[in-house]
Structure 1
């Protein structure tokens, strides 16, 4: 074989080998590319499937954090949320046992603040919603929007959502004054959805086999709700009030009765004591004035001890120290006070004065509770208060009930029994009362005002106290001279004849003049003890106890009634 042929053969062999290598590398590369493409396709299909599943889950289940007053709850919509805000509100009211009108607000992440919910399309999973109670007379409107989700197949709220109760309590200070006194029978509030279901089942089981319900989570929710409900009546519930709440609780839910307790609820009573104290501590952090006034930094230097000189309602005041109205500050209310002084000097509209007095009520309470102003100084600052109309209104603001009509109505109701009781009284007290009753015996046709005056004078004596400690009678003495003579008296009613005049003196200052009769003077003096946060005169404490408990119907649970009062009431009702 020639050299040329040999070279040709060698080159062909090498080229064939190179071609095989190239095709092998090309085949491997193509195979790798195909595998990568398949892998990417599988990943894409998996992501698409996961996206579709997440989208379906988002349509079927949405979870929200719900703030209701002082509670934080969780609500889950298993089959999507309703298409309109109105329907959503209906679901919330049924789920959380809300009977009053409400609106909804959602927390916007951009502004970190709550906005009124006008469309359910604004909501996302895990959003925060706030339930806003709508006062009577205020109508909240929303604009319904269409939504793709359909809940027509939902047969009940239970299928639509689930509710979880949280133990964390987020208190906030009340924005309005209390509207009611402590009730004769305490109304047990509705608890969370889960707790109500547990109580329903527990009551059925207890009635069946006597097994009590012992669930820490249920007890925690019950105590939180009861503490909140009790605070709506008073910040400092006493032992009888806590006992009344515990008794009402086990009567409504017998499964909560304690087997080892002497009354079935003593443990609940003690738990409420500590829970209410804990609730006050939480509210104190939000600046509630009724609680802040008892902090150490707000006390005088000599009283800076936790349990010393506690300022709290002692005569059943409902609105003892309320917060300022929404949007008001010390400066704005001071401006209103100055306008009020000017209005009282110019005899402006009584309605306008009453509106300004209502607006500045919280400011006056801070002065009479937290400061030690003399009555004369307080009268200069608030002259409009020292008027019979405004004393009645101030008593209503403080205790939610009318003063004069209630006082006089009960006095007239018990007056025949009073006179019968006084006439049969013997001993030295009976002799003193008969010297007063002789006026009615001599004049059988005496006026109603005269009968009331005689009844009140005899009542003071019957309670073991002296008429002279409350009433000073004058004959043919000018009223100005009477004022001079009574400058040293802390609390006194004076009655002048020829010329006729009836008035009230407090701390030596004439606070009321030109009154019609003694019974009205007693009523208004009693009202001023609330308006000015005054203690009852020590020598007349039992008489004022009758005014408070019997004539006005305040504070039937604390303090414990005196034996004199109990004896009087038993004889009146016998």
Structure 2
């Protein structure tokens, strides 16, 4: 087995995600393309480009697997769309709008026009609605500074190479450098932690070694401190402009009597790329509230999926404000946003928040690590080892992947020192009233209703705050993915008795914020990728 490789994949819609190759680089570009398609949940034809440092980090077509480097960046180019454009006749450029999309002035309006949205009509993507954000990069890219700043640094770098002379930048140059770096940081987040600031400072002195600080043990300690202050000052500017991700933490937005700086601080803590976005252009809270009310009627109509999807996309910022600012109870939130409690919408909401596909990424990573996890389960000794061997013995043949995934998930809970019954509770031959009573006493979890006369479960669903919020799911693995997605969509904390299991799902399987994992999670991660 080769050395594990991590790549940043920039998708065709402008978002990006991490790709893990646990066995090292594939044998061919076709194998790499298949892995990208699998982990990123892509469909159709596409080609890959790589970021070439020899040409100023421009993207060039990938022609050899040797051009792929660990922690490198690849870009997905949708070949199907490109081919379509290339084969269009010149005359056809004037016929891009189909007859079904043509509307008269009288049809412009929320209900009359949107109710006529056809299946072929594109809806706005989340990036168009709330701004472009990406996951924090594996390697921070230092931007190009102003012309005069780059000229000064070029001369200073040459002097550093020749005689090791470092540069003490003048206030103007230092301010220009910090300003550009902060502008690059906020493309990812407005609240960066200490580790991320250190990565930025390290990238800076790596690109411009003349800025290395001789009095610092890391060579960049002063730059990291300056960046923290600069970013803090920039958040003050954003707060004055009413940017919601920082205004939600201002003192005047605290509850009456709880106006302390530490109370109710709301920040992205689980790699949420879009945590509390601004409202879409030309929209206000009132217009989005009106759209939300119309959604309550739209979800009750048949064959209305396209319209519901469009309105859920457009009201995303309103939901995030409610979840982050008000922390509503699940029952009241479900009554207001019933369309969210659907498999396709949970997938969409999770991707809006993190830019990472939920269901496809979780299941593919679970399958990818299943063989290694089984070996780890079999090696474990003691009481936990005996429980794990019992679970491994229940794993069916490969023609039943859903049942096998369920066993792997339960084994993961046991391996992390937690009880799988806190996650998945089975009710066999229980009457309906007894099941309702048990559900009402459950804070969070998954239920499986079975009959002893049948091998297939009668129902699989998700419980939040004593309410069944999702029913009739196909299998337990899907239910776990949807429960994880709902925790992000509703900004819920992981349950204490399952915190390690969900940490593994987040930081190992989904690749979201792998910094500062617990000792248990780090140990498992090292064993999976060794």
Query: TM-score scaled to structure 1, two decimals?
Result: 0.68
1:469 and 2:436 are equivalent in the alignment: no
Partner of 1:8: none
1:180 and 2:180 are equivalent in the alignment: no
Runs (5+) with no aligned partner, structure 1? 1-96, 100-136, 138-173
Partner of 1:521: 479
Question: Equivalences for 1:13-412 in 2 at 5 Å?
Answer: 176-215=130-169, 216-412=171-367
Q: Distance in 2 between matches of 1:304 and 1:564?
A: 37
- The correspondence for 1:482, drawn from 435, 441, 450, is 435
Report how far residue 205 of structure 1 moved: 1.4
Q: Is the 8 A contact 1:493 1:502 kept in 2?
A: yes
Q: Is the 8 A contact 2:130 2:317 kept in 1?
A: no
Report how far residue 201 of structure 1 moved: 1.4
Report how far residue 196 of structure 1 moved: 1.3
Higher gyration radius (CA): 1
- Can you list the C-alpha shifts for 1:89-138, whole angstroms capped at 9, x where unaligned? xxxxxxxx9x9xxxxxxxxxxxxxxxxxxxxxxxxxxxxxxxxxxxxx9x
* Partner SS, residue 545 of structure 1: helix
* Partner SS, residue 264 of structure 2: coil
* Partner SS, residue 511 of structure 1: strand
- The correspondence for 2:519, drawn from 545, 563, 566, is 563
Q: Distance in 1 between matches of 2:434 and 2:309?
A: 33
Q: Distance in 2 between matches of 1:350 and 1:484?
A: 34
- Can you list the C-alpha shifts for 1:57-115, whole angstroms capped at 9, x where unaligned? xxxxxxxxxxxxxxxxxxxxxxxxxxxxxxxxxxxxxxxx9x9xxxxxxxxxxxxxxxx
1:502 and 2:460 are equivalent in the alignment: yes
Report how far residue 388 of structure 1 moved: 0.4
Runs (5+) with no aligned partner, structure 2? 1-55, 59-84, 86-127, 452-456
Q: Is the 8 A contact 1:479 1:501 kept in 2?
A: no
Q: Distance in 2 between matches of 1:348 and 1:303?
A: 47
Q: Is the 8 A contact 2:346 2:482 kept in 1?
A: yes
Higher relative contact order (CA 8 A, sep 6+): 2
- The correspondence for 1:530, drawn from 488, 496, 501, is 488
- Can you list the C-alpha shifts for 1:329-348, whole angstroms capped at 9, x where unaligned? 01110111112111111134
Report how far residue 481 of structure 1 moved: 4.2
Q: Distance in 2 between matches of 1:203 and 1:255?
A: 5
- Can you list the C-alpha shifts for 1:474-526, whole angstroms capped at 9, x where unaligned? 11235664233211211010112125211000001111100011111111000
RMSD of aligned alpha carbons:
2.0
Report how far residue 403 of structure 1 moved: 0.3
Partner of 1:86: none
Q: Is the 8 A contact 1:483 1:510 kept in 2?
A: no
Q: Is the 8 A contact 2:129 2:314 kept in 1?
A: no
Partner of 1:112: none
Query: TM-score scaled to structure 2, two decimals?
Result: 0.73
